[in-house]
C-alpha cells in the first residue's frame, strides 16, 4: 500500500512540475484597422483563446497592466517585433503575442505573431483572410490561433468563414441566417394522358389548339423559413405560376410546398399542394373514346354513358387540386444563387412534370 501511495505522490509531483514548467505567455493589444473592435478587445479575445488551449501559462491581463504601469511601459501602438520583445524582457515572460485585424473591402485579414523573448525572434506567424463577418470575431481568432499552433480546425466551419461561394448560414448572414431562394422562376411543364390530349385538341372539341407535349411557365417563389438547425432548414414555399402564355393560353396555378433544404450543398426536397383554375365541363365518352358534352347526347332514352367532369374549353372555370413533389439543387456563382428543380404532379387526367430554374442574389445585412 505504501508503495502505491509513493508512486501516486511521485506522479502528482511530476505532473505539477510539468505544468509549472510551461512557458509563460503575455498577450498584448492587437492593431485594429476598420474593425468595430478595439485593440484591447481583440487582445482579450486572443488571450481567452490561448487560455482555453492550456498550452502556455498565460499571464492575467491585470498583471500585465500592473507591470506595464510599474515599468512605465506604453502598450498602445506597440505591435512590432522590436517593441514587443523589449516589453517581454521587462515583464519577464517567455513568449509575447500580438497581431492585427484589418478590413480590406469585404475581407478581414487577421494576422498573429508569437515572439520568443529569450531568443529575440519571431517563433510563429499566422496570416489568414476571412469574409467580413465581424460578429464572429472570436471564432476568427480561435481558427487563426489553432492554425498557428498546428491544431486541427473544423473544415466546414473554416469554409463558411472564408469562402464566398458557400451558401448563406448563421455565420455569414446572421440576420437572415439561412439560404433564401425567393425569386423569379421559369421553365417548362410537360403534359401526359388526357390533359395532353385536351390541350392539343381543336376548340370545337373542347381543346385548346395547343402543343400536346409541353408549355412554358413563368412564376415567382416566396419562401418562409421557420427552422434552421445545423445543416438543414425547414421551409414553406409559395409559388404562383402561369402556364401556356406562348400558346395564348392562361392557366394559373399556385403551389404551396413544405420542404427541407441542405444549408451546405443546396439540395432540397418538398411536397405540397398544387391549386389551379381551368375550364371544366360535364360530358361523356362514347364506345369509341370520343368526348361529348352532356347536352350533346342525341340518342333515344337516357344516356347510358357515365357523366364526368373533364377539362374543356367550353366549360366553366373551376378549381382543381393535386399533389406536387419537387426536388432540386441550388448552385452558387459569387453571391448569385441559381436553383434548379424538377417537379411532378400526378392526376387522374394525366401526370404533368417539368423543370424550373430561377435566380436571386442575397445581400448581407
Average pLDDT on 254-283 reads: 89
Instruction: Assess whether pLDDT exceeds 60 at residue 199.
Output: yes
How high is the pLDDT of residue 229? 62
**Stretch among 24-28, 106-110, 329-333 having the lowest mean pLDDT:** 329-333
String of DSSP letters for 239-293: EEEEE-GGGT--EEEEEEEEEEEETTT-EEEEEEEEEEEEEEEEEEE-TT--EEE
Residue, of 148 and 12, whose pLDDT is higher: 148
Q: Is 42 exposed, middle or buried (0-12, 13-18, 19+ CB in 10 A)?
A: buried
Average pLDDT on 46-72 reads: 89
Residue, of 364 and 352, whose pLDDT is higher: 352
**Stretch among 64-73, 198-207, 347-356 having the lowest mean pLDDT:** 198-207
How high is the pLDDT of residue 365? 38
Cα–Cα distance between 129 and 111 in angstroms, integer?
9
Cα–Cα distance between 311 and 349 in angstroms, integer?
8
**Dihedral of alpha carbons 171, 173, 175, 177, sign:** negative
State which H helix or E strand residue 5 sits in: helix 2-20
How high is the pLDDT of residue 362? 59
Distances (CA, A) of 69 to 47, 75, 87, 95, 223: 20, 10, 12, 20, 58
Average pLDDT on 237-259 reads: 89
pTM of the model: 0.53
In the chain, the percentage of residues whose pLDDT exceeds 90 is 39
Cα–Cα distance between 243 and 254 in angstroms, integer?
11
- Check: CB of residue 189 under 8 Å from CB of residue 215: yes
Which residue ranges form the domains of the chain, and what is each CATH number?
11-162 (3.40.50.10070), 183-361 (2.40.160.20)
Average pLDDT on 216-243 reads: 85
Average pLDDT on 55-79 reads: 87
How high is the pLDDT of residue 140? 93
pLDDT (tens digit, 9 = 90+) per residue, 293-308? 888 888 878 888 888 8
Average pLDDT on 215-231 reads: 83
- Check: CB of residue 95 under 8 Å from CB of residue 25: yes
- Check: CB of residue 57 under 8 Å from CB of residue 23: yes
- Check: CB of residue 324 under 8 Å from CB of residue 274: yes
Instruction: Assess whether pLDDT exceeds 70 at residue 176.
Output: no
Cα–Cα distance between 353 and 188 in angstroms, integer?
8
pLDDT (tens digit, 9 = 90+) per residue, 308-354? 888 888 888 888 888 999 999 998 877 788 999 999 999 877 888 99
Average pLDDT on 128-138 reads: 90
DSSP 307: P
Angle between helix 81-91 and 61-70 (nearest 10): 90
Residue, of 318 and 21, whose pLDDT is higher: 318
Residue, of 164 and 150, whose pLDDT is higher: 150
Residue, of 183 and 13, whose pLDDT is higher: 183
Q: What is the mean pLDDT of the chain?
A: 84
Cα–Cα distance between 165 and 159 in angstroms, integer?
9
The CA-based dihedral angle spanning residues 6, 12, 17, 23, taken in that order and rounded to the nearest 10 degrees: 160
Instruction: Assess whether pLDDT exceeds 60 at residue 196.
Output: yes
Buried b (16+ CB within 10 A) or exposed e, 271-299: ebebbbebbbbebbeeeeeebbbeeebee
Amino acid at each position: 500500500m505504501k508503495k502505491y501511495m509513493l508512486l501516486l505522490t511521485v506522479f502528482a509531483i511530476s505532473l505539477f512540475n510539468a505544468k509549472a514548467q510551461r512557458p509563460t505567455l503575455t498577450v498584448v493589444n492587437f492593431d485594429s484597422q476598420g474593425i468595430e473592435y478595439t485593440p484591447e478587445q481583440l487582445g482579450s479575445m486572443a488571450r481567452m483563446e490561448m487560455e482555453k488551449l492550456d498550452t502556455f501559462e498565460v499571464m492575467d491581463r491585470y498583471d500585465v497592466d500592473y507591470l506595464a504601469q510599474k515599468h512605465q511601459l506604453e502598450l498602445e501602438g506597440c505591435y512590432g517585433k522590436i517593441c514587443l520583445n523589449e516589453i517581454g524582457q521587462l515583464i519577464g515572460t517567455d513568449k509575447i503575442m500580438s497581431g492585427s485585424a484589418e478590413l480590406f473591402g469585404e475581407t478581414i485579414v487577421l494576422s498573429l505573431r508569437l515572439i520568443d523573448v529569450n531568443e529575440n525572434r519571431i517563433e510563429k506567424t499566422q496570416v489568414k483572410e476571412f469574409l467580413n463577418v465581424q460578429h464572429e470575431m472570436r471564432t476568427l481568432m480561435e481558427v487563426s490561433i489553432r492554425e498557428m499552433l498546428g491544431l486541427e480546425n473544423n473544415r466546414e466551419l473554416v469554409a463558411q468563414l472564408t469562402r464566398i461561394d458557400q451558401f448563406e448560414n448563421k455565420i455569414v448572414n446572421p440576420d437572415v441566417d439561412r439560404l433564401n431562394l425567393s425569386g423569379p422562376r421559369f421553365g417548362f411543364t410537360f403534359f401526359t394522358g388526357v390533359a395532353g390530349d385536351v390541350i392539343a385538341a381543336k376548340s370545337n372539341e373542347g381543346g385548346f389548339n395547343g402543343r400536346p407535349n409541353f408549355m412554358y411557365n413563368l412564376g415567382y417563389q416566396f419562401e418562409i423559413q421557420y427552422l434552421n438547425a445545423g445543416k438543414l432548414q425547414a421551409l414553406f414555399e409559395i409559388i404562383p405560376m402561369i402556364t401556356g402564355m406562348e400558346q395564348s393560353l392562361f392557366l394559373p396555378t399556385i403551389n404551396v410546398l413544405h420542404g427541407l433544404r441542405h444549408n451546405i450543398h443546396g439540395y432540397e426536397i418538398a411536397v405540397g399542394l398544387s391549386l389551379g383554375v381551368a375550364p371544366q365541363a360535364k360530358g361523356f365518352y362514347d364506345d369509341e373514346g370520343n368526348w361529348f358534352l352532356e347536352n350533346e347526347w342525341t340518342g333515344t332514352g337516357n344516356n347510358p354513358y357515365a357523366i364526368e367532369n373533364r377539362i374543356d374549353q367550353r366549360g366553366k372555370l373551376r378549381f382543381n387540386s393535386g399533389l406536387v413533389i419537387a426536388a432540386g439543387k441550388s448552385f452558387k456563382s459569387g453571391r448569385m444563387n441559381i436553383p434548379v428543380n424538377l417537379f411532378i404532379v400526378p392526376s387522374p387526367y394525366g401526370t404533368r412534370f417539368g423543370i424550373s430554374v430561377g435566380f436571386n442574389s442575397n445581400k448581407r445585412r
